Amino acid sequence: MQEHVSDPYVQRAQKDGYRSRAAYKLLEIDERDKLIKPGMVVVDLGATPGGWSQVAAAKVGRAGKVIALDLLPLQPIAGVEFILGDFREDSVLVQLEERLGGKQIGLVISDMAPNMSGIDMTDQARAMHLAELALDFSVRHLQPGGAFLVKMFQGTGFEDYVKLMRGHFARVVTRKPKASRDRSSELYLLGLEKLE
């Protein structure tokens, strides 16, 4: 708790009006890779508490659309449509597809993580399952040339996942933003220029 309270990114988020320190991860990656463009459709998987959705909504503007999804409720954010539900359930995917109304997505961002049990093998398998679902969704719904950003944890299955992503994107790069805690094994994989 003390680490959280004294975290400079937590303090900065409170000052800047972001809901979480995670906003700075997306801001840094976007600054480097120019992912979010005005008028774009963005889907935010695992959105609560909403830091990434806030960043995306501000950058896509009124002409764009941000659809956020999470198991946990999300306090409303201007310019963000929210779906409460489990991404692993077909009925929730159907809701998401209905909200898209046939529009193709320019960017899928996924900061999803399972509830951690403390058992590394179990946690890694659960995290990998969520990442695989997010990739599958992206492959089906991203427009050609679109991008996919996903949180990963290094461990079993990581290299295979990178290979899988390379089959669908022209470039796959790794990002470890400064706002990620050093001791965390989290990093982000970014698939750029989705192939036809």
Active centre residues (catalytic): 151
Rounded CA separation 92/43 (Å):
13
Angle, to 10 degrees, between the axis of helix 8-16 and the axis of helix 22-33? Answer: 80
Rounded CA separation 11/26 (Å):
17
Compute the residue count for the chain.
196
Rounded CA separation 88/178 (Å):
30
Tokens (6 digits) for 192: 């750029």
